[in-house]
Chain A
Amino acid sequence: MATATAPNRRKSRLNRQGRAAHVFMLPWLVGLIGITALPTLASLYLAFTDYNILSTPEFIGIANFERMLADDRFWQSVRVTLTYVLVSVPLQLAFALLLALILDRGMRGLTFYRSAFYLPSLLGSSVAVAVLWRELFGHAGLINQALALVGIEGSSWLQNPQTALGTLVILNVWTFGSPMVIFLAGLRQIPEELYESARVDGASVLRQFGSITVPLLTPIIFFNLILQTIGAFQAFTQAHVVSGGSGGPVDSTLFYTLYIYQQGFTAFDMGYASALAWVLLVFIGAMTALHFLLSKYWVFYGD
Chain B
Amino acid sequence: MTTHLVAPTAPTTGPAAGAPPRRRPRRRARSVARHAGLLVFVAFMLYPLVWMVTSAFTPESEILTGPLIPEELTLENFVAGWNSLTRPFWVFYGNSFVVTISSIVGNLFSCSLTAYALARLTFKARNAYFGIVLVSVMLPMHVLVIPQYIIFSQFDLVNTFVPLVLPKFLATDAFFIFLMVQFIRGIPRELDQAAAIDGAGPFRTFWYVIFPLMRPALVTTTIFTFIWTWNDFFTPLIYLTDQSVFTVPVALSSMVDAESNSGIGMLLAMSVLSLIPIMAFFAFAQKYLIRGITTTGLKG
User: Which A residues contact B (CB, under 8 angstroms)?
Assistant: 14, 17-18, 20-22, 24-25, 27-28, 30-32, 34-36, 38-40, 42-43, 46, 53, 102-103, 105-109, 113-129, 131-132, 134-136, 140-142, 145, 174-175, 178, 181-182, 184-186, 188-189, 192, 219-220, 223-224, 227, 230-231, 233-234, 236-237, 240-241, 244-245, 257, 260-261, 264-265, 270, 273-274, 277-278, 280-281, 284-285, 288
B70 within 8 A of A: no
CA distance A140 to B116 in the complex (A): 55
B21 within 8 A of A: no
Given contacts A21-B126, A27-B170, A40-B139, contact A127 B249 (CB under 8 A): yes
The 9 closest A-B pairs by CB, nearest first: A31-B170, A39-B147, A18-B123, A128-B271, A24-B117, A42-B147, A28-B171, A185-B294, A122-B300
Given contacts A38-B147, A117-B45, A142-B64, contact A244 B257 (CB under 8 A): yes
Is the beta-carbon distance between B64 and A27 smaller than 8 angstroms?
no
Given contacts A18-B124, A121-B300, contact A43 B5 (CB under 8 A): no
Is the beta-carbon distance between A234 and B300 smaller than 8 angstroms?
no
User: Which B residues contact A (CB, under 8 angstroms)?
Assistant: 2, 5-9, 11-15, 31, 34-35, 38, 42, 45-46, 48-49, 51-52, 55, 64, 109-111, 113-114, 116-118, 121-124, 126, 129, 132, 136, 138-151, 153, 166-167, 169-172, 177, 201-203, 206, 227, 231, 233-234, 237-238, 248-250, 252-253, 256-257, 264, 267-268, 270-272, 274-275, 278, 282, 286, 289-290, 293-294, 297-300
CA distance A215 to B112 in the complex (A): 37
Is the beta-carbon distance between A132 and B52 smaller than 8 angstroms?
yes
Classify the interface of chain A: helix, strand, loop or mixed.
Answer: helix
- A106 touches which of B12, B42, B113, B264 (Cβ 8 Å): B12
Is the beta-carbon distance between B170 and A28 smaller than 8 angstroms?
yes
- B45 touches which of A120, A141, A274 (Cβ 8 Å): A120
> Hey, which chain B residues are within 8 Å of A36, CB to CB?
136, 139, 144, 172
Is the beta-carbon distance between B49 and A119 smaller than 8 angstroms?
yes
> Hey, which chain B residues are within 8 Å of A107, CB to CB?
14, 31, 34
Is the beta-carbon distance between A25 and B129 smaller than 8 angstroms?
yes
Count the A-B residue pairs with Cβ separation under 8 angstroms: how many?
284
Given contacts A28-B177, A241-B256, contact A128 B272 (CB under 8 A): yes
Q: How far is the CB of B101 from chain A (nearest CB, A)?
A: 18
Residue ID in chain A nearest B203 by CB atoms: A20
> Hey, which chain B residues are within 8 Å of A124, CB to CB?
300
- A31 touches which of B14, B171, B294, B298 (Cβ 8 Å): B171
CA distance A230 to B140 in the complex (A): 9
Residue ID in chain B nearest A228 by CB atoms: B299
Is the beta-carbon distance between A39 and B278 smaller than 8 angstroms?
no
